[in-house]
Amino acid sequence: MAALDWSQCPAVESIPGKVSGAWVLKGTRMPVSVIFENLKAGANIDEIMECFEGLDREQVEAVIEFAARSLEAPVPR
């Protein structure tokens, strides 16, 4: 499976030295991976928002939508 190009998602950023350069929600220290870990564990967006105070719902939804749209794109050969 090809890795997602998170640089194409406007809701996230990767800054060297900030959370070890991991992709995070823009303006936060919340790694994108935490959203998917919580979804995998059965949490919904509302529960994620409750657990991680200060998140922007639009950013969380944009990250999920970006990942979903990327699954529709043809895989380069």
For residue 33, what are the domain limits?
Answer: 28-77
- Rounded to 10°, the helix 32-40/57-72 angle is 80
Does some domain include residue 53?
yes
Q: What is the pLDDT of residues 54-68, one digit of tens each?
A: 899 999 999 999 999
Residue 9 maps to a domain: no
pTM above 0.95, yes or no: no
pLDDT digits (tens, 9 = 90+) for 15-31: 999 999 999 999 999 99
Residue 3 domain flag: no
Whether 73 maps to a domain, the answer reads yes
Residue 44 domain-assigned (yes or no): yes
- Our count of domains for the chain comes to 1
Q: Pull the structure tokens for residue 74.
A: 């043809």
Q: Rounded distance, CA 31 to CA 18, Å? A: 10
Residue 8, domain member (yes or no): no
